[in-house]
Amino acid sequence: MSLVQNPILPGCYPDPTICRVGEDYYLVTSTFEYFPGLPVLHSTDLVHWEQIGHVIDRPEQLNFDGIASSGGLYAPTLRHHDGVFWLICTLVDQADDARGGNFLMTATDPAGPWSDPVWLDAGGIDPSILFDDDGRAWVHGTRLATDPEWFDQTEVWLRELDLRTKTLVGPEHVLWTGAVRGAVWAEGPHLYKVDGAYYLLAAEGGTEFHHAISVARADHVTGPYVGNKGNPILTHRHLGRGMDVVGVGHADLVEGPDGSWWAVLLGMRPYGGYHYNLGRETFLVPVVWEDGWPVFAPGVGRVPMQVEVPFADDAPLGLVQGVTSGVVGPDDVRWTSLRRPASSFATPRGDGWELRMSQETLADAGTPAFLGVRQQHMDVAVTATVSADLQPGEEVGLIIRQSEHDHVRFSLTAGPLAGESGAVRAELDRRIVAIARQRGVETVLGEVSVSVDGPVRLSITARGQEYKLCAALNGSPFTVAVADGRTLDSVTTGGFLGLWLGAYATSNGRPTATVARVEGFEYNPA
C-alpha cells in the first residue's frame, strides 16, 4: 500500500476525465488555447502517470487561430467502447459563438493518432457520453436553462448517439437543472450505470470557490432523476477560503480491477493569500457505495492531501508530477506552444531551440514564438541562456504567462543609443528588461544595460508569490526586478488557467529575419 500525495497531477490539469481498459487507466484534461491539446496520460495504479500523446496534435484537426486565452478546449470526456477510444469535447470561441461547438473524436490507440473531429448538432458545453449495456450510446451535456428559474441556471440534456453515423438521433431529454436551488452552472455531467441504476454526476456553483459535486439516480437513462438527499456530496465551500484545497468539483468516476472505486476531480491550492497560481489541478479521492449512492472520501468528507492506494506502485513519481529536475530538452512532453505547432517557428538544437523571431507578440491572440511548460510547484526556478543578433525593438527571453493581457516578460532586448544631445546613434543599446503586463497595461519593473555582446543567462525564481528575475553575464548574477505573482493568477485576472513558464522571441511587429537561441532551459523545484 502506498500513501500518495495530492494532487496527483500538479499544475494546470483541470477537468480530468478517466477510463480504465483492463489494468490500464487513461486520463485527459482541458488545455484551452495551448497546443498540442488534450494530453493523454497513462497509469497502471492511478498514481504514477506518463503522458503518452495528445488528442489534438495536428493543426488541421481544429483551428485555434485568434481564440483568446481561456477559450479553446473545454472539459473533455474519455471513454472506451468495443476496442475504440471515444473523446467528446467542446471548442469555445468567446468572441464568436458560431465558431465553436461540441465534437467527437476516436482512436484505436489512446496515444494516437486521433481522428479529425465530427461535429455534433448540440449546443452548450461539457459534453459526455455513456455506452449502455444494451449497445446504445447517449450523449449528454450542459447549457443555460431554456426557461430558467434564476440567473445562470443550467440544465443537463440527453440525446441518443447513432454509433454508425456519429450523429444525434431521437428526442432530446432534459435530465437535471441542479441539486440546490439557486446554484449556477450544473456542469461537467457524467452518466454511469452501476448495478442496473443510472447515476448522473454533475458539478455546481461555478468552477471556483463555490464549486461542488452532486449526484442523482434514475431507473431509466432518460429519467426521471432523483437527487441524493446529501447533495452536494463533496464540496469545500463551507470550509472557508483558508483551506489548503478550495473549489473542488468536476469529478469523473472509475472502477479499479479489484472492484474499488475512485474519483479524479479538480481543485486549487491557494498560497500567499487567496491566490492559486498553479491553477486547477487534478486530485484523487476514494469512493465507496452505501445505500445505493457514491460516498466521496468516506470518513473524511473532503479532499485529503494524502490518499492510501492499496495497489499503487512504490516507484518514484514520474515526469508529469514534475519531480524530475533539470534541463527540459526539446523532446520533453511538457512543452506547449500557442494555437499552432511549435514547428512553425522553432527548431531543436542540442539541448535547446532556435526560435525564428516572430512579428507577433505575447499580447496577440496568435502564435508568437513561445514555448512554455506549466508551473507545477509553488517554489521553483527556471533558467535558460538566450542569445541573438538583435535588431532594434527585438527581444528574446523568459516569460511568466497567464494570458495575452497578463504576463511578465524578462528579456534581452536592443534599441538605438542616444548621444549627449539626444540624437540617435548607430550603435545598439543592449538591455535586460523586466516588463509586467496587467490588464493590457505595461509597466517596466527594472532594466539594466549590458555592456558586452554574447549570451545572457536569465532566471525566474519563484518563492511563493515572489518571482525574482535575475541575469548573469560571464557567471556574475544580479537581480533585475521582482514580480508579484498575486497579480497574475486567475483570481486577479479572470479566466481559467494556471501559469506557464517559458521562453519567447519577438520583433514586436517589425519585419525580421532574426533567429534567437534558447539553450539549457531548466525547471528545478525547490
Q: What is the CATH number of the domain that holds 431?
A: 2.60.120.200
Closest to 17 (Cα-Cα) out of 87, 72, 120, 81: 87
Residue 94 lies inside a defined structural domain of this protein = yes
At which of 274, 309, 344 does a domain end? 309
What single-letter DSSP state applies at residue 159?
E
**Does 364 share its domain with 297?**
no
CA distances from residue 277 to 268, 362, 485 in whole angstroms, order as listed = 9, 19, 7
pLDDT of residue 293: 98
CB atoms within 10 A of CB 486: 17
pLDDT of residue 323: 53
**Does 219 share its domain with 357?**
no
Q: Is the dihedral of CA 272, 324, 14, 305 positive or negative?
A: negative
To the query of whether residue 394 is one of the catalytic residues in this protein, the response is no
Range of 405's domain? 326-525
**Does 368 share its domain with 250?**
no
pLDDT of residue 424: 45
CA distances from residue 142 to 27, 122, 181, 189 in whole angstroms, order as listed = 21, 10, 17, 7
Residue 490: phi and psi, rounded to 5, are -70, -20
pLDDT of residue 316: 64
**Does 291 share its domain with 333?**
no
**Does 208 share its domain with 249?**
yes
Residue 319 lies inside a defined structural domain of this protein = no
Measure the CA–CA gap between 90 and 97, rounded to whole angstroms: 12
**Does 125 share its domain with 226?**
yes
pLDDT of residue 96: 81
**Does 415 share its domain with 501?**
yes
Residue 415 lies inside a defined structural domain of this protein = yes
pLDDT of residue 425: 45
Task: Tell me the pLDDT of the chain (526 aa) as tens digits.
Answer: 578 899 999 999 999 999 999 999 999 999 999 999 999 999 999 999 999 999 999 999 999 999 999 999 999 999 999 999 999 999 999 888 778 899 999 999 999 999 999 999 999 999 999 999 999 999 999 999 999 999 999 999 999 999 999 999 999 999 999 999 898 888 999 999 999 999 999 999 999 999 999 999 999 999 999 999 999 999 999 999 999 999 999 999 999 999 999 999 999 999 999 999 999 999 999 999 999 999 999 999 999 999 999 988 776 665 555 456 899 999 999 999 999 999 999 999 999 999 999 999 999 999 999 999 999 999 999 999 999 999 999 999 999 999 999 999 999 999 865 444 454 444 678 999 999 999 999 999 999 999 878 899 999 999 999 999 999 988 888 999 999 999 999 999 999 999 999 999 999 999 999 999 999 999 999 8
Question: What is the identity of the amino acid at 66?
Answer: G
**Does 367 share its domain with 472?**
yes
**Does 422 share its domain with 487?**
yes
Tell me if 378 sits within 8 A of 271, measured CB to CB: yes
Measure the CA–CA gap between 371 and 380, rounded to whole angstroms: 18
pLDDT of residue 315: 64
Residue 502 lies inside a defined structural domain of this protein = yes
Residue 147 lies inside a defined structural domain of this protein = yes
To the query of whether residue 15 is one of the catalytic residues in this protein, the response is yes
State the CATH number of the domain containing residue 224.
2.115.10.20
Residue 136 lies inside a defined structural domain of this protein = yes
**Does 147 share its domain with 288?**
yes
Q: Return the C-alpha cell found at 341.
A: 505547432
Domain count across the chain: 2
pLDDT of residue 233: 98
Residue 493: phi and psi, rounded to 5, are -95, -20
**Does 123 share its domain with 86?**
yes
Q: One of 187, 281, 404, 489 is an active-site residue; which one?
A: 187
pLDDT of residue 423: 47
**Does 78 share its domain with 41?**
yes
Residue 315 lies inside a defined structural domain of this protein = no
Residue 317 lies inside a defined structural domain of this protein = no
Question: What is the identity of the amino acid at 55?
Answer: V
At which of 266, 282, 309 does a domain end? 309
pTM greater than 0.85 (yes/no):
yes
pLDDT of residue 325: 80
